[in-house]
Chains A and B, each alone.
Chain A
Amino acid sequence: MAAPLTFSQRWLPVATVLLAVLALWYAGAIGLNRAGAVERVLPNSHPNGDWTVSDLVSVTLNMERPVLPAPHQVAADLYSSTVDWPLDSPRNLLFHAAVTAQSTLVGFVLGTLLGVVLAAAIVHSRTLDRALLPWIVASQTVPVLAIAPIVLVILGSLGFSGVAPKATIAMYLCFFPVTVAMVQGLRAPQRIETELMHTYAASKLQAFWLLRLPSALPYLFPSLRVAIAAGLVGAMVAELPTGAQAGLGARLLTGSYYGNTVGIWSALVLSALLGLALTLAVAALERLVLRRGNAA
């Protein structure tokens, strides 16, 4: 293949595309907010209709309830809502991001553990392999997220509230991809390697810890990245039903109830950042684990 890309070859195109997106965003904000500005704002400031194009542009980019808020409005709202309020105030967006991150992470850890344990059971049991695995694989084609309202109702009537229902939904969404990938990974060792373990008179447990689990790790981590993204969506959807007070999903919903477009956009940007941060955390964990595995 070609030589590895230099720094400018790698980042210049990305920066260009990002700048183009920003320019399109501003153009879109002017275009989409134009009608509202001409109708509602400009007649107040220029009663005799003598406004210029630059007036129009500055108004469209700073409207109170824009159709599409300009990037700097979203940035300003993000900044003010994260800095002007104490961290434990429900007006602080970081507070909501932390609530969502907490249920995502709890669900992610539990779902991953469950998936790994179930995959280990499937690999060691022909019955589970034949009876259960096809259903888990088939569930990948089904919108399992749709069960979330049911889980909320069931756990709600059993008296659970707060993190538990949200983490449960994140958990079962994380669980499916991890199970499927881990079954593949635990089966990855070649026949010659399993036979070597056999000649060493290694027990099934030893073969699992020394051979199967290490060779499954390259399969596990990509599925973890899929899982944490799915878990985040699950946690946010779990915050949608009325009654959820906190979390990015709840912020999105209240924003759409009150027509607070800037609020929706900042919640959206923050949830994207949260998704990126969680994925980066998983990637960092992957590097850490794989490097230790290579050194050993």
Chain B
Amino acid sequence: MTFARDASTPAAKAVFALIASLSLAAAFWWLVGTAQQQADFQPMPLVAPLLAVLFIAGLSVRRLAALDGRPWYATATAALFGLWVLYFWQVGVTLFNVPRVLLPAPSWIGQMLIDRWDTLAGDWVQTVAKAVLVGWALGSGLGFAVGVAIDRAPFLQRGLLPLASLTSTVPLVAVAPIMVMWFGFEWPSKAAVVVLMTFFPMLVATLAGLQAAGRLELELMKTYAAGYARTLRDLRLPMAMPFIFSALKVNATLALIGAIVAEFFGSPTVGLGFRISTEAARMNMGLVWGAIVVAAVTGSVAYALLVQLERRVAFWHPSVRSK
């Protein structure tokens, strides 16, 4: 270890700031905890130490951000920053006795996640496993199928493409009340909203992706006497993969938003969107935040899974290899 010999390297400074800030933060945590036990608890004397901890925490992030050389330094910096946000959120809320309605402490949200786990799991199954997954697969699949189907009809392409691009400016999620009327309160109405929201991005991406094959490759296929279907399968669809995957990723987020917002318009007494809107109306903010944590984790995991899948499927593509 270099910093043991030379205490002035950036790495040594970062490690020093990290240790100092973490131990100070732990000491301050203990201080807040004991001070709160006393009957005449006053937050004001603790503000100055809080600012000191804030300063050294900022310093630790700064020192860590200054490091170069290892790829995980960047991840560690972001993680440390997130940790500090959670810490000051927790300490600030406890110290100033912020009402739970305004901002529940992270520990309270965590407690809610554990206590009401069965409720949230039911909501997850209702919203994600049924509405989002079915809607996302159907909408993306239909968009892809229509894109491939009208590949040989330039007239239809020229007619559909401008309209499909325009739909990105339209608040499509507003069809939710109509879908609730048509398909009832259960999950199919939410899946229908998701289908509508995910169809157009995939259609636009498929049409763009099918144009991505270069002239040279197309002519090579022609010299091989490859027909339309063969060229589509072996050249043009593989070349379209990055476009299709980016639409799948965009659609994953859109599908979550669509299903959750559609539940604001009416749903059975289960579902993430239902949980968020009713518990917010009942001022039970711990559970609302819990549902949002579930939705956020779902979105990030879905994105990460799609990135992994793209690496498997389109491993040969320059856009994947360059990462």
Contact = CB atoms under 8 A, between A and B. Distances in A.
Interface of A: 5, 9-10, 13-18, 67, 126-127, 129-132, 134-135, 138, 140-143, 145-147, 149-150, 152-154, 157-158, 225-226, 228-229, 232-233, 236-237, 240-242, 248-249, 252-253, 255-256, 259, 261, 264-265, 267-268, 271-272, 275-276, 278-279
Nearest to B157: A13
A232 B252 CA distance: 20
B80 A131 contact: yes
A146 B259 CA distance: 10
Interface in B155-178: 155-160, 162-163, 166, 168-171, 173-178
Contacts of B174: 236, 248-249, 252, 267-268, 271
A13 to B, nearest CB: 3
19 contacts: A13-B158, A127-B62, A127-B65, A130-B65, A131-B61, A143-B299, A145-B261, A146-B273, A149-B277, A237-B173, A241-B281, A253-B265, A256-B177, A256-B265, A264-B178, A267-B174, A275-B169, A275-B171, A279-B169
Interface in B230-272: 249, 252-253, 256-257, 260-261, 264-266, 272
B264 A256 contact: no
B145 interface: no
Interface stretch (B24-32, B47-55, B283-291): B283-291
Query: Main secondary structure on chain A at its contact with chain B?
Result: helix
B168 A147 contact: no
A130 B78 contact: yes
Interface of B: 61-62, 64-66, 73-75, 77-78, 80-82, 99, 101-103, 155-160, 162-163, 166, 168-171, 173-178, 180-182, 249, 252-253, 256-257, 260-261, 264-266, 272-273, 276-277, 280-281, 283, 285, 288-289, 291-292, 295-296, 299-300, 302-303
B101 A132 contact: no
B158 to A, nearest CB: 4
Contact of B163 (A14, A126, A249): A14
B260 A146 contact: yes
B10 to A, nearest CB: 12
A150 B285 contact: yes
A9 B158 contact: yes
A296 B171 CA distance: 37
A150 B169 contact: no
A237 B264 contact: yes
A135 B79 CA distance: 9
Given A143-B260, A233-B173, A153 B156 contact: no
Nearest to A259: B181
A272 B102 contact: no
A135 B181 contact: no
A255 B177 contact: yes
Nearest to B154: A13
A154 B295 CA distance: 20
B43 to A, nearest CB: 20
A255 B257 CA distance: 22
Contact of B300 (A16, A138, A249, A268): A138
Given A17-B159, A131-B78, A152-B280, A146 B65 contact: no
Contact of A150 (B99, B170, B252, B280): B280
